[in-house]
Amino acid sequence: MGRVFKFLMVVLAVLVAALAAYGGKGYVDAKLASDDLRIRANKLIAEGRSGADLGAERLDWLLRVQDPAFLDHGGVDFNTAGAGATTISQSVAKRLAFKQFQPGIGKVRQTGYALGLEQSLTKDQILALWLDTAEMGRGPSGWMTGFFEASFLVFGVPPSEVTDTEFLRLVAVLIAPASFDLLQGDEKLVDRTERIERMLQGDCAPLDHGDVWLEGCR
C-alpha cells in the first residue's frame, strides 16, 4: 500500500509540475507578444475604439456585467459575485493565444497568458483588445466580431450613441453570442437585457460568483 501511495504522489507531483509549466508557457507567450499587442491596442485607442469611448457610465455598466473587479484584479477573480470563471483578461487571452481553444487544460495556458497580459499592458489596452475581438453573434452580413463593429452594423452608430437599451442589448449578447439575435425580436435577449437593467438599477444582485446569467435577477 505504501509503495502504491508513493507512486500516486509522484504521478500527482508530475501532473502539477506539468500544469504549472503549461501555465508558465502562456505567461511567457504573452510577454513575448506584448510589444505587438501594445501597438495594436494603442491604435484602437487612437481610433476611438477604447473603453473610454463608450462613455464613463456605459463603461461602468459593461464592467459590472462582464467583470466587476476588472480594474482591481490581476487577471483572475475567484470571489466577486457575478464574475464567473473567465475575466476580461482571460477572455481576450483565449482569443489572442489560441487558434482553437480547448476547454479543460487549455484554461491553464489561458490563465497564464492573462497574467502575462496584466503584467505587460495597461487595463485600457487590455480592454481595447477585448472590445475589438469580442464575439457578437450574427449580423446583417454574417458573424460579427468587435463590440464597436457590431454597434455600427446593427444600429448604424458607435456604442456611445445608441440608446441605453440598445447598449445593454450589445452587452447582453456577450455571454453567449450564438444564442442571441440582435437583428430580430429575441425573447431570450429581451429577458437577459431586463435582468441586466434590474441589476444595474440596484433592484437585484448576482446570487454568487458563478451567477453570470443573473439568476438573482430573474
Strand spans (E) along the chain: 135-139, 142-145
Q: Is the pLDDT of residue 181 over 90?
A: yes
CATH architecture for segment(s) 27-217? Orthogonal Bundle (1.10)
The string of pLDDT tens digits covering residues 28-37 is: 999 999 999 9
State the pLDDT at residue 22: 54
The string of pLDDT tens digits covering residues 123-154 is: 999 999 999 999 999 999 999 999 999 999 99
The string of pLDDT tens digits covering residues 43-58 is: 999 999 999 999 999 9
Q: Are strands 135-139 and 142-145 parallel, antiparallel or unpaired?
A: antiparallel
Could you give the CA distance from residue 67 to residue 81 in angstroms, rounded to a whole number? 10
The pLDDT of 181-195, averaged and rounded, is 94
Q: DSSP secondary-structure letter at 78?
A: S
Output the CA–CA distances (angstroms, integers) from residue 200 to 17, 61, 69, 89, 213, in the order listed: 42, 7, 15, 22, 14
Q: Is the pLDDT of residue 12 over 50?
A: no
- Helix axis angle for 123-133 and 147-155, nearest 10°, is 50
State the pLDDT at residue 108: 84
User: Could you give the angle at the alpha carbon of 80 between the alpha carbons of 41 and 98, nearest 5°?
Assistant: 40
Q: What is the distance, to the nearest Å, from the Cα of residue 57 to the centroid of all Cα atoms in its chain? A: 19
State the pLDDT at residue 139: 95
Residues with Cβ within 8 Å of 22's Cβ and at least 6 positions away in sequence, in order, are 105, 108, 109, 112
The owner of cell 508558465 is 24
The owner of cell 452608430 is 157
User: What ranges do the domains of the chain cover?
Assistant: 27-217
State the pLDDT at residue 25: 83
Burial of 124 (0-12, 13-18, 19+ CB in 10 A): middle
Other CB atoms within 10 A of residue 42 CB: 16
Residues with Cβ within 8 Å of 108's Cβ and at least 6 positions away in sequence, in order, are 19, 22, 23, 26
State the pLDDT at residue 103: 72
Could you give the CA distance from residue 156 to residue 134 in angstroms, rounded to a whole number? 18
